[in-house]
Amino acid sequence: MSSGPLTETVTLSQARDLIRCLSHEQSVLLLAPPGVGKSDVVRQAAAADGLECRSLLGTQIAPEDVSGVPRIVGERSVFCPPRVLLPETAGKFCLFLDELPACAPDVQKAFYSLLLERRIGEYLLPEGTWVVAAGNRAEDKALVRTISSALINRVLVLNVRIDVPEWLEWARANRVREDVIQFIEQSPEALLRPVPDKPVPFSTPRAWASLARALDLVGARGRLTAALVRALAVGRVSEDDARRFAAAWLGNPAESASLEEKLNWPLAQLELSVRATTCLESEGITVVRELIVRTDDELLEIRNFSETALREVRAKLALHGLRLGTSA
């Protein structure tokens, strides 16, 4: 009997500790969805150990940015490594290869000796130097290329997950707005949403922190209104989360309910007329989920269900961001 692939995950704080324990000898690759905080945790680990963090961005480098360019010394050519990889000072540092999975295949090859042997051509990195890489996964719909088996075999892969209590602790320590913190406490699933198929804003820890900062900046000018809160939220996080956050900010608990909660509401939650409710219940429709999958024509086929009742149902559903003919 076959089993699926085994994937173990670590939290950001665990990843930070492992980086500090391992990176002076073993190259570490952090894999996680966009906006989780991979880059920040690498810099935090380096700062905690008093190391300068030097970064290379995988999408913006060529092979010669790793191997260096040749110069003639005597009658031989010698490759001169770039300063970011081999600084003039002999002290150890943290070399951060950001977006490594986005590197072109020839750039990945150029990293082989660096990742395994801490060597650039004939030059060795200063003893104790860290080599840490990070990037997104193939399923994250980001710019990710196939990572060669040779490269994977040269790094320790850490799959990073988001831990909500850990993020809330970080948010309070970094003075993130209380309304954002409270919203994530009440709706922890909103902290990180799957990457959408379309290029639209979606909820990540980075997006929520950025939204909180935007609200602070606008609020400091005395310009924060309900309309602007909604606009800022829609521009940063997933649409449903944005609507619910804006409703919670206004103190509207009904509108701040999640989509799944709304689908499970009894019909009474919509406050329909007795006539409309009776007609729907006679058809076996008792919760919102069973109502929204019906079309206008299907409802009008119910005995005694009139055009007036249909308009009422549409209006009541619209108040909660719902409509008929929706697959649940």
Domain final residue, candidates 113, 137, 160: 160
For the chain, what is the radius of gyration of the CA atoms?
Answer: 27
Domain interval for residue 170: 164-256
DSSP per-residue codes, 65-113: HHH-EEEEETTEEEEE--TTTS-SS-S--EEEEETGGGS-HHHHHHTHH
Which pLDDT belongs to residue 253?
54
Give the model confidence (pLDDT) of 47-99 as tens digits.
999 999 988 888 777 777 776 667 777 777 766 767 667 766 778 999 999 98
Looking at the domain assignment, is residue 175 inside a domain? yes
Specify whether the CB–CB gap between 273 and 315 falls below 8 A.
no
- Dihedral over alpha carbons 177, 182, 187, 193 (to 10 degrees): 10
Q: Is the pLDDT of residue 5 over 80?
A: no
- Asked whether residue 22 falls in the same domain as residue 135, the answer is yes
Give the model confidence (pLDDT) of 8-45 as tens digits.
899 999 999 999 999 999 999 999 988 999 999 999 99
Q: Which residues pair with 110 in a beta bridge?
A: none
pLDDT band at 252 (very low <50, low <70, confident <90, very high): low
Which pLDDT belongs to residue 326?
82
Which pLDDT belongs to residue 1?
42
| Distance separating alpha carbons of residues 95 and 136, to the nearest angstrom | 18
pLDDT band at 173 (very low <50, low <70, confident <90, very high): very high
Domain final residue, candidates 214, 239, 256: 256
Give the model confidence (pLDDT) of 122-163 as tens digits.
778 889 999 999 998 877 776 667 788 889 999 999 999 999
- Asked whether residue 20 falls in the same domain as residue 105, the answer is yes
Name the average pLDDT for the chain. Answer: 87
Domain count, the chain: 3
Instruction: Count other C-beta atoms under 10 Å from residue 10's C-beta.
Output: 17
- Dihedral over alpha carbons 204, 207, 212, 216 (to 10 degrees): 180
Half-sphere exposure of 200 (CA within 13 A, CB side): 12
Report angle CA 292, 297, 300 to the nearest 5 degrees. Answer: 95
pLDDT band at 6 (very low <50, low <70, confident <90, very high): low
- Asked whether residue 127 falls in the same domain as residue 153, the answer is yes
Name the residue with higher pLDDT: 207 or 139: 207
| Distance separating alpha carbons of residues 118 and 134, to the nearest angstrom | 17
Looking at the domain assignment, is residue 325 inside a domain? no
Which pLDDT belongs to residue 261?
79
Name the residue with higher pLDDT: 144 or 212: 212
Residue with structure tokens 């090859």? 109
pLDDT band at 2 (very low <50, low <70, confident <90, very high): very low
- Asked whether residue 233 falls in the same domain as residue 274, the answer is no
- Asked whether residue 19 falls in the same domain as residue 138, the answer is yes
Instruction: Count other C-beta atoms under 10 Å from residue 135's C-beta.
Output: 25
- Asked whether residue 226 falls in the same domain as residue 305, the answer is no
- Asked whether residue 101 falls in the same domain as residue 41, the answer is yes
- Asked whether residue 138 falls in the same domain as residue 52, the answer is yes
Contacts of 165 (CB under 8 A, 6+ apart): none
Domain final residue, candidates 207, 229, 256: 256
Looking at the domain assignment, is residue 324 inside a domain? no
Distance of CA 81 to the CA centre of its chain: 34
Give the model confidence (pLDDT) of 268-300 as tens digits.
989 899 999 999 999 999 999 999 999 999 999
- Asked whether residue 32 falls in the same domain as residue 173, the answer is no
Give the model confidence (pLDDT) of 181-195 as tens digits.
999 998 999 999 998
Looking at the domain assignment, is residue 240 inside a domain? yes
User: Would you give the end-to-end CA distance of the chain in angstroms?
Assistant: 34
Looking at the domain assignment, is residue 326 inside a domain? no
Looking at the domain assignment, is residue 1 inside a domain? no
CATH number at residue 58: 3.40.50.300
Looking at the domain assignment, is residue 283 inside a domain? yes
CATH number at residue 294: 1.10.150.20
pLDDT band at 320 (very low <50, low <70, confident <90, very high): confident
| Distance separating alpha carbons of residues 126 and 124, to the nearest angstrom | 6
pLDDT band at 111 (very low <50, low <70, confident <90, very high): confident
DSSP per-residue codes, 270-308: GT--HHHHHHHHHTT--BHHHHHTS-HHHHHTSTT--HH
Looking at the domain assignment, is residue 241 inside a domain? yes
| Distance separating alpha carbons of residues 60 and 104, to the nearest angstrom | 10
Give the model confidence (pLDDT) of 261-275 as tens digits.
788 889 998 989 999
Q: Which range (16-25, 110-119, 256-265) has the least confidence?
A: 256-265
Which pLDDT belongs to residue 249?
85
- Asked whether residue 59 falls in the same domain as residue 155, the answer is yes
- Asked whether residue 112 falls in the same domain as residue 84, the answer is yes
- Asked whether residue 39 falls in the same domain as residue 148, the answer is yes
